[in-house]
Amino acid sequence: MKIVKIEQFFPLQRVRLVKITTDNGIEGWGETTLEGKPRSVHGAVEELAEYLIGKDPLRIEHHWQHIYRSAFFRGGNVLMTALSGLDQALWDIAGKHHDVPVHQLLGGAVRDRIRVYAHWGIGNLTDEAKAAARDRLDSLIAQGGYKAFKSGPGGKWRAHEPPAVIDEFVERAYLMREWVGPDTELAFDFHGKMTPAMAIEVCHELKGMRPMFVEEPVPQENVDALKQVSDHVTFPIATGERLLTRWDFREIFEKQAVAYIQPDTSHAGGITELKKIANMAEVYYMHIMPHCAIGPVAFSASLHVDATVPNFLIQEQIDQGLGHGLLTNAWQVNEGHIELPTGPGLGFEVDESALSDEQKYREELGGEYYYDTDGSVADW
């Protein structure tokens, strides 16, 4: 069996797919979404295709090592995103070739179903916003019985903000807790927008409503700053969506900088690397909560690693069982869980009729368009 074709698709914003086809007609799907770098990743996949065409798709580890190590400059978000999507597609082919779900090839499942959390929050304290948030909460509970949600402070945050800004966010957080009760988990993503001092102050204000975790309280580049926050906060801190490979996570582990890690299967190195990162984290008693705020192929790939590692806690989910309209047999959420995939490979079929439209790219996170009141660049 040999690889004969590699194609790329951009059917939706924040959803870029790659398809690998073999000479016996098996097709494997992966996701190569990287916000802000669509053309760069597209070009990287084309370059890597020159190596993969004609190769045996089942030599997954060999191809991973070649792609990662063959260039003088290793890693980086463009290469790792391209590699991640191709790796997912190779695992999909392997599962289909052996007629088993990928999680069986990874050692078999250690759990019967996979816990997920949804994105939900109260945008502001106006009556209209609260009514919309309440409707959304009721819908998510009725739709999938979710018992865990993630929100965030939103907007731009400077090195310090006046009490009114902090108090407004804290009031929303406590209102969320009041609405869902004590048996539901609530988490908050700070998106790396705060300084350590600001993050510690805000976390102390949240202490009474007992968050499940706060994600990326500070930017990911400085592990000591992250550990400073963790050391001053009584509830779990999490990070990892912008970290790539075991080597990026090593310092996090060694310094015990967080309680939970959030590697992304479409950035950190695909299924191959996500499982290795999880195995490393287990040694430090850290649980994984894989990040996935993009499309359904990346989400499906994450589920197979979630199924096989003992230190899995919960999976991020932004698409409540619809597969973004791209899958013919999307997952279903029941009581806040998804049953293990049972189909061969990644366990889904892509509706290729939904791939006919090529999207015009627009900025997806908007970082370069956000400025503070003084005209300086702001994180978003």
Catalytic residue among 63, 97, 103, 191: 191
Catalytic residue among 97, 103, 291, 304: 291
274: Cβ–Cβ under 8 A, 6 or more apart, which residues?
A: 263, 265, 268, 290, 302, 305
Is 320 exposed, middle or buried (CB count within 10 Å of its CB: 0-12, 13-18, 19+)?
Answer: middle
140: Cβ–Cβ under 8 A, 6 or more apart, which residues?
A: 118, 120, 146, 149, 320
Q: For the sheet containing 3-12, what is the strand order?
A: 3-12, 15-22, 27-31
Strand 237-239 relative to strand 260-261, pairing: parallel
338: Cβ–Cβ under 8 A, 6 or more apart, which residues?
A: 113, 114, 116, 303, 315, 331, 332
Query: Crossing angle, helix 245-254 and helix 223-231, to 10 degrees?
Result: 40
What is the distance between the terminal CA atoms of the chain, rounded to a whole angstrom? 46
Q: Is the CA virtual torsion 225, 208, 238, 252 positive or negative?
A: positive
Does residue 304 have an active-site annotation?
no
Cβ(218)–Cβ(192) under 8 Å?
A: yes
Does residue 291 have an active-site annotation?
yes
Residues serving a catalytic function are: 191, 291
